[in-house]
Structure 1
């Protein structure tokens, strides 16, 4: 039988919260990188086609 104290649950909660924050930051960075990459492709396409 494993007994857990209040502090054990608090630590687990903090770790889970940190993981959620890390995942959210990672997803935001991925979105920024994808947006910049697509923007560069669009800019290159506009230069080739002469569109503004």
Structure 2
């Protein structure tokens, strides 16, 4: 996924690592917003690469 880009994969890993931190410190609303943004970004990137080729 993520368009087979190493940079994108690393950025999403860091993003989800921060998301996990917010879950563990009970900042659930921030975590939910981040999860929604992350899933939308991943779907958008995958859709972009699907139509690009």
Alignment TM-score, normalising by the size of structure 1: 0.51
Q: For the pair shown, which has the larger CA radius of gyration, 1 or 2?
A: 1
Residue aligning to 2:38: 19
Higher relative contact order (CA 8 A, sep 6+): 2
5+ residue gaps in structure 1? Answer: 35-52
The structure that is helix-richer by fraction is 2
5+ residue gaps in structure 2? Answer: 1-23
Number of equivalent positions:
30
CA shift, 1:3, in A, is 5.6
Q: Distance in 2 between matches of 1:3 and 1:19?
A: 19
Partner secondary structure for residue 31 of structure 1: helix
Alignment TM-score, normalising by the size of structure 2: 0.50
Residues 12 and 3 of structure 1, relative CA distance in 2, 3 Å threshold: closer
